[in-house]
Amino acid sequence: MEEVDVNPTVTNIPAIRHGKHMGFAWGPEDILVYETQFKASGPSLSGPGGSFIHKVRKDEDIHSPILRKLFNESHHIFVGLQTIKEDVPSKSKKPQFVSISRNYRSVIRACMEELQQVAVSTKDTEMATQYGNQVSILLAIELIWNLCEVLFIDAAPAGSLLLHLLDWVRLHNADADEKAKDVLQSDSPAEHHHYWDVVVSYVLQGRLEEARQMLAKQATRQPASRNMYKLMDGLLSKMPFYNPGGTQTLTEFDVKWRNWHEEVDRYLKDNSFSSNYHLELICKILVGDEDALLEQKELLSTWYHFLITRLLYCHPTVKPIELHYYAQSCLTMFLDSRSVQEPLDSILLAAFEFDIYLVIKDCSIVLNNWWFVAHLTDLLDHCKLLHSHNLNFGSNMREFLLIEYASGLFTHHSLWQCAVDYFDHCPELGRACLELQIERVPLDTERKALKVLRICEDRQMSEQVRSICKIMAMRALRNNRLGSALSWSIRAKDAAFATLISERFLQDYCTKGTFSDLDLIDNLGPAMLLSDRLTFLGKYREFHKLYGEKRFKEAAKLLLSLMTAKIAPRSFWMTLLTDALPLLEQKEVIFSADQTYELMYCLEELTSSLDTAAPGADSPMQEQDVEQTKVELLRLSLARNLAMAIVKEGTVDT
C-alpha cells in the first residue's frame, strides 16, 4: 500500500506583491519574510514595496495552554518508560507496556475533555472552531493509538482479539449511549422515535444484555407478540462469547458459536420474525447478513464499526493475520461512490494490515505535530516491535521522531526543559542535537542562565558551559558589572578573560582608590589560581584587608612576596611600593632588615627598567617629576627603615 500523499501547504503572505522576490530569515520558532529584489547589480530599481517584515509560524500547539498539559504529562510517562529495566524479557513486560499505553491515552482524553469544555463555553466562534478542530484531531489520535495498542502492544490472539476490538469500537461510538439516555429519560421509552435505533445499535456493538433490557420494555407493550419477543430474548441470551480466562478452548467456542449461528439462521428462514420488521432486522444482524448490516450505515457511521460488527457475527474467531482481508473489503463495501477514502482510513487500514511503519509514516505526513508519532514509536520500540535493520538511515526512526518532537519544544520558554530528557534518551543523535539547541536558549535572566548551565554541567558539555559563561561574562562586562563578569569567567574557566577583568579591577582601583565587588574578591578561594592576574588581585586585596586589621607584619610580608614571587605585574610595582610607604613610616619597625634589602632591590629593578625604557617622549615633564619624587621618597624611607631595623635586630633584650 502506498503512503499518503499530501501536497505542500501554501501560505499567502499579505502585502508582498505577487511575483515579487521574497527574502527570508530563519528564527528559532519562525521564519521572517519580506519583499525584496535579488539582483545585486546596482542601485535598486523600484521604490519601497511597502517595507514590512512578516513573521510566519507553523501552527504551533505548544502555545496552547491546554495542550501544554498534554506535553508535560506525557513527558512524565515517557521518562518512566525509559527507565524500565532492559534485562527482563519483553513478554513479561507486556502488561506494563499496555498500562503505559493506557496512561498515554488517558492523558489524551483528559486534554480532549478540557478542550471540549472550552470549545463549548467560549463565545468566540473562531476560537470554538479552532478548539473543536483540535478535539477532532485528538480524537483521531486516540482512536489510532487505541487500535495500535490492541493490535501491536496487547497483540491479542484469535478469540480475545475480537473482544478487544469490540471494546475499541464501543469506546469510540457514543451516539448509542446519547440516544439511549434520551430514550430512557422519556415518559414512554418504547414509543420514543430513537427506541429502535438504540436497540439495533446495542446489537451492532454486541451489547446484548442491554439490548435485551431495552427489548423487554417493548415486549410488555405488545403482549400479542410475546412469544416472538421471548424467542428473540432467548437467542440474544444464548449467544456465546469467548472467555479468554476460561477453560473452554477456541475450537470448543467455535463449535458452540456455529451451533448458535445455525439456530438463529433456522429461525430467520422459518420467518419466525417476519411479522415484526425490527425483530427480523435484528435477527438478520445476528446471522451476519451483509446487506442488513450495510443498511445500518447511519447507525454504524464508520467502516471500522461495520468491520467489527461483521466479524462479531460472521467470524468471531478471526485471527490477527486475517484482519486485513476483512478490513479492506469492509472499507470498500462501506464507502459508496460519494465518499472518498481519507487519510484516517488509510492509517487504520495500515494498522489492520499490521504495517507499523506505514502507520507511523502516514501519521507523520498527515499530522502537523510530532507528539503522537514520537511517543507511539518510542513505546513500540520498547516493545521490540521495530526492527532497525530495515532502515538505510544511519540512526533509527525512533530517534528521528523523538528529536523532531523535542526540537519543537525547545523554543518554548518552559517546555524546553522537558525537551532535554528526550534528547538524553536518544543515544546516537541526541547529544549533538542537544548541544546545538541548548546554546540557543535565550539567557534572559541569571536564573535561567544558571538553569541552562546546570543542565550542561550535568552532562559534561564543557564547551557549552564555557560558551554560556563567556556570553554572560561579556554581557556583564559591557554593562560594567565587573564582579558578575569575573564570577562568570571563573565559572567558564576562562583564564584570559579573568585576566582581562582583573586588570579592569586593578585599573579601577588605581583611578578610584577603592575596590568594587569586595565580597567576590574576598571569597575567591582556589578559583584565584585561574589566572596570574586574578591571583594577584586576590592577594592584593588580602594585603589591604590585613592592613585594615592592623596586622602589619603579615601585610608587609604579603606585600613583599607579591613582588619577589613575581605575582604582581611589573606595571603595578610602583603602586605596591607606594603602598609600602605607610608601613615604612610607622614608629614600630615592620619590615626586617632583610626585607628592606629586598624592597630596595625591587625598587632598583623597577627604576632601572624604567630608565632603559624609552625616556618619556610620551609622558609629560610633570609626570616624570612626580615619578622622580616618589622614587626619592621611597629611597629615603627605605634607608631610614633599614637603619632602624638593623639597630633593632642588633639590640639584645635584657
Give the binding-site size for another protein (rule: CB under 8 A).
121
Taking the alpha carbons at both ends of the chain, their separation in whole angstroms is 112
Q: Which residues contact 609 (CB under 8 A, 6 or more apart)?
A: 570
Which of 25, 84, 518, 636: binder of another protein (CB under 8 A)? 25
546 in Cβ contact with 554 (< 8 Å): yes
In order of 211, 227, 269, 382, 628, the CA distances from 224 in angstroms are 20, 8, 22, 61, 133
Residues 6+ apart with CB under 8 A from 385: 152, 153, 356
The CA distance from 257 to 268, in Å, is: 16
CA–CA distance, 332 with 290 (Å, rounded to integer):
13
Q: Give the integer Cα–Cα distance in Å for 103 and 105.
A: 5
- Interatomic CA distance for residues 642 and 394, integer angstroms: 79
Residue 354 to residues 83, 320, 385, 495: CA-CA distances in angstroms? Answer: 27, 9, 11, 60
Residue with smaller CB distance to another protein, 41 or 514: 41
What SS3 string covers 402-444?
Answer: HHHHHHHHCCCCCCHHHHHHHHHCCCCCHHHHHHHHHCCCCCC
Say if CB 343 and CB 4 are below 8 A apart.
yes
Which residues inside 521-550 make contact with another protein, applying CB under 8 A? none
Binding of another protein by 113 (CB under 8 A): yes
The set of residues, in sequence order, having a beta carbon less than 8 Å from that of 181 and lying 6+ positions away, is none
Query: Is residue 475 at the binding interface for another protein, with CB under 8 A as the rule?
Result: yes
Give the C-alpha separation, 394 to 439, whole Å: 25
At residue 133, what are phi and psi to the nearest 5 degrees? -60, -45
- Can you give 304-327 as a three-state secondary structure string? HHHHHHHHHHHCCCCCHHHHHHHH
CB of 424 to another protein, least distance (A): 15
Q: Which of residues 145-204 bind another protein (CB under 8 A)?
A: 170-178
DSSP 8-state class, residue 23: E
Report how far residue 549's alpha carbon sits from residue 508's, in angstroms, rounded to the nearest whole number.
Answer: 23
Query: In the complex with another protein, which residue's Cβ is closer, 328 or 564?
Result: 328
CB of 536 to another protein, least distance (A): 19
In whole angstroms, what is the distance from residue 384 CA to residue 395 CA? 16
C-alpha cell at 187: 415518559
Q: Which is nearer to another protein, 236 or 386 (CB)?
A: 386
Binding segment for another protein among 10-18, 147-155, 261-269, 273-281 (CB under 8 A)? 10-18
Helix (H, G, I), strand (E, B) or coil at 34: strand
Indicate the residue among 46 and 612 with the shorter CB distance to another protein. 46
CA dist 441 and 436 (Å) reads: 10
Q: What residues between 495 and 524 interact with another protein by CB under 8 A? A: 500
Which residues make Cβ contacts (< 8 Å) with residue 551, sequence separation at least 6? none
Site string for another protein, 421-460 (x = CB under 8 A): --------x-xxx--xx-xxxxxx----------------
The count of other CB atoms within 10 Å of the CB of residue 253 is: 20
Q: By C-beta, is 312 or 583 nearer to another protein?
A: 312
Restricting to residues 314-353, name those near another protein by CB under 8 A: 339, 342-345
CB of 290 to another protein, least distance (A): 20
Minimal distance in Å, beta carbon 541 to another protein?
23
Interface region with another protein, contact rule CB under 8 A, candidates 260-268, 297-305, 533-541, 576-584: 297-305
Q: Which of 26, 223, 224, 618 binds another protein (CB under 8 A)?
A: 26
Select 154 or 263, whichever has its Cβ closest to another protein: 154
Q: Does 303 bind another protein (CB under 8 A)?
A: yes
Site track 362-401 with another protein (rule: CB under 8 A), x = hit: --x-xxxx---------------------xxx--xx--xx
Q: How far is the CB of 88 from another protein (least distance, A)?
A: 29
* Smallest separation (angstroms) from another protein to the CB of 545: 29
Q: Which residue number, 169 or 530, has a Cβ lying nearer to another protein?
A: 169
Cβ nearer to another protein, comparing 161 with 366: 366
**355 contacts another protein (rule: CB under 8 A):** no
Per-residue x/- mask for another protein, residues 124 to 143, rule CB under 8 A?
--x---x-xxxxxx-xx--x
- Find the part of the chain contacting another protein (CB under 8 A) among 187-195, 213-221, 358-366, 602-610: 358-366
Q: Which is nearer to another protein, 86 or 444 (CB)?
A: 444
What are the residues facing 619 on neighbouring strands? none
Dihedral over Cα of 445, 450, 455, 461: its sign: positive
Minimum Å gap between C-beta 17 and another protein is 5
- Write the single-letter amino acid at 377: T
Q: Least distance from C-beta 154 to another protein, angstroms?
A: 16
* Residue 297 near another protein by CB under 8 A: no
Least distance (Å) between residue 306 CB and another protein = 11
Pick the closer one to another protein by CB: 240 or 343: 343
Q: How far is the CB of 59 from another protein (least distance, A)?
A: 4
Kindly state whether residue 405 participates in binding another protein, applying the rule CB under 8 A: no
In sequence order, which residues have a C-beta less than 8 Å from that of residue 168 and are 6 or more positions away?
146, 147, 150, 308
Closest separation in Å from C-beta 277 to another protein = 26
> CB 55 → another protein: shortest distance, Å?
4
| Angstrom distance (rounded) from CA 149 to CA 351 | 10
Our CB check for another protein shows the closer of 171 and 321 to be 171
* Binder of another protein out of 69, 93, 94, 109 (CB under 8 A): 109
Least distance from C-beta 461 to another protein, angstroms? 13
Of 35-74, binders to another protein (CB under 8 A) are: 35-38, 40, 42-44, 46-61
Question: What are the distances in angstroms from CA 408 to CA 11, 47, 222, 326?
Answer: 20, 38, 63, 39
What binding mask, one character per residue, do residues 253-292 give for another protein by CB under 8 A, x or -?
----------------------------------------
Query: 250 and 159 in contact (C-beta within 8 Å)?
Result: yes
Rounded to the nearest angstrom, the gap between the alpha carbon of residue 155 and the centroid of all alpha carbons in its chain is: 30
CB of 625 to another protein, least distance (A): 31
Least Å distance, CB 84 to another protein, is 24
Tell me which of 463, 605, 625, 649 binds another protein, using CB under 8 A: 463
Identify the bridge partners of residue 253 per DSSP, sorted by sequence position.
none
